[in-house]
Amino acid sequence: MTDPATGTTARLVVDLSAIAANYRRLGAELGAGVVCAGVLKANGYGLGANRIGRALWDEGCRVFFVAHFEEGQTLREALPGAEIFVLNGAAPKDEAEFATHRLAPTLNSLAEVTAWARLCARLGPHPAALHIDTGMSRLGLPPEELDILAAEPARLGAIDLRLVMSHLACGEERGHPMNARQLAAFEEARARLPAARASLANSSGIFLGPRYHFGLVRPGLALYGGNPFPDQPNPMRATVRIEARLLQVRNVDQGGTVGYGAARILERRTKIATIAIGYADGYRRNLGDRDRVLVAGQSVPVIGRVSMDLVTLDVTGLADGALVPGSWVEIVGPNRTVEDLAAQSGTIDYEILTTLGARLQRHYVTGAA
C-alpha cells in the first residue's frame, strides 16, 4: 500500500475476507446441495472481478456469472477451472469464441438456442444456460417461444443444458406479489422443459426462502455488502472503504466564493479543506453543497460544487491539528455505508459501486486494515 503521507488520489479498499464471510453467510441460508454461485459482472460490481473471483473460489465457489463475453474471457484467465456463464448471451457468429474460452452462454431466445445447437452439432455438446422470461421483459424466452421449445425439445439438439434460469423483478420487496407470480411461472416453465438444474434467486431472492433456491442461487450485491432488503437491518458485512486524500486547507474571508460558478458565497470567514476526489472518481456532482464526509472522525459538509478531481469541505469547526495534508477522509467506511452515499446521491448502491472511477487506487486487504 502507498505511504499514507504521500500521493494525491482517492482509494478504494476492498476487504476480501468480508466478501468471503458474506459468501459463507449466504451459504448458511441454503439447504444441502444448493449451489451458491457468484455474480461478477461489471468487473465484480466495480470492485475487481478477478481478485474477488479468486477469493470466492477459495471459499468453494465454482460457478460464476458475468454479463459479457469479454468479462468472461478475463475471468477465465484468473479461474481456469470455473464454470462461467455469460448472461447477455452470445452475439450471432461469436459462438465459436465462447467454446474456445469454455464460456457458457445464457441462451436468451429461440434464435440463440438454434445457434448454440448448431455449434453443438458441429463440435459436440457444449454447456449453456436457458433463460426464461417470467416478468422482467428484458432477456429470456418470452412465453410464445417457451411454448415452441416445450413442444419441440429436440430443438435443444446436443446442447449440454446446465441451467434453466429466470430473474426476479422485485426480490428486494419481501411482500411484493411479483415474487410469488414469478415463482409460479418459473416452476411451470421448468416442468415443461428437459430436466436441468434451476436458478431463480439473486441476493434478495435467497432471503425469500427455500422455495426460491432451486438448485443454484446467483447473488451479486449481497456478496459486496449490499442489503438484500433495504428496509430491514443489513445481515451482510461491509466490504469497501472509499477514502480521499486531504490536500490543502485555507481560510477564506466572508464574501469569498468557493468552486466553479462561484456558486457558494461565504456568509462568514470559513476554513476550507480540499480533498482529492471528484465526479471522475464516481463522487457525484449532485453531492455539491449537500453531502457530508468524515474528516478525522468528524462529520463536515461539502461546500460548493463537486469538480472532476476535487471536493471542498467546510472544516471551520475542526482544529488545525485534525487537518493533516495527506491524511485520508472517509467517504464510505465504518461510519458511512455505500447505501447512505447512494441515497444521498439519488441512486442505488449498485450504481455507486459500478460507476466508481477507474483511477481510484484499488487496495485489497484481508481482515480489518
Ligand X SMILES: Cc1ncc(COP(=O)(O)O)c(C=O)c1O
211: alpha, beta or left, given left = phi > 0 and alpha = psi -120 to 50? alpha
Size of residue set near ligand X by CB under 6 A: 10
Which of 72, 220, 304, 333 binds ligand X (CB under 6 A)? It is 220
In the bound state with ligand X, the residue whose beta carbon lies nearer, of 167 and 336, is 167
User: Which residues are known catalytic residues?
Assistant: 41, 260
Which of 44, 72, 219, 259 binds ligand X (CB under 6 A)? It is 219
In the bound state with ligand X, the residue whose beta carbon lies nearer, of 213 and 218, is 218
- Interaction of residue 221 with ligand X, rule CB under 6 A: yes
Q: How far is the CB of 351 from ligand X (least distance, A)?
A: 11
In the bound state with ligand X, the residue whose beta carbon lies nearer, of 86 and 149, is 86
From CA 233, how far away is CA 369, in angstroms rounded? 24
In the bound state with ligand X, the residue whose beta carbon lies nearer, of 83 and 309, is 83
For residue 25, the surrounding DSSP H or E stretch is helix 16-27
Name residue 208's beta-bridge partners. none
**In the complex, residue closest to ligand X by CB:** 220
From CA 156, how far away is CA 109, in angstroms rounded? 12
Burial 200-239 (b: 16+ CB within 10 A, else e): bbbbbbbbbeeebbbebbbbbbbbbbbbbbeeeeeebbbb
**Range in contact with ligand X (rule: CB under 6 A) among 10-18, 190-198, 214-222, 353-361:** 214-222
Residues 38-57 that bind ligand X (CB under 6 A): 39
Q: How far is the CB of 170 from ligand X (least distance, A)?
A: 11
- Interaction of residue 140 with ligand X, rule CB under 6 A: no
Could you tell me the CA-to-CA distances from 104 to 27, 73, 76, 116, 316 in Å, in that order?
A: 24, 11, 11, 10, 57
Q: How far is the CB of 39 from ligand X (least distance, A)?
A: 4
In the bound state with ligand X, the residue whose beta carbon lies nearer, of 221 and 295, is 221
Q: What is the 3-state secondary structure (H, E, C) of 147-196?
A: HHHHHCHHHHCCCEEEEEECCCCCCCCCCCHHHHHHHHHHHHHHHCCCCC
Q: Contact at 8 Å (CB) between 41 and 65?
A: yes
In the bound state with ligand X, the residue whose beta carbon lies nearer, of 41 and 264, is 41
Which of 26, 87, 129, 266 binds ligand X (CB under 6 A)? It is 87
Q: Is the dihedral of CA 141, 143, 148, 150 positive or negative?
A: positive
Q: How far is the CB of 113 from ligand X (least distance, A)?
A: 17
- Interaction of residue 198 with ligand X, rule CB under 6 A: no
- Interaction of residue 179 with ligand X, rule CB under 6 A: no
- Interaction of residue 200 with ligand X, rule CB under 6 A: no
360: alpha, beta or left, given left = phi > 0 and alpha = psi -120 to 50? beta
From CA 275, how far away is CA 163, in angstroms rounded? 48
Which of 11, 76, 162, 167 binds ligand X (CB under 6 A)? It is 167
Residues that bind ligand X (CB under 6 A): 39, 87, 167, 202-203, 218-222
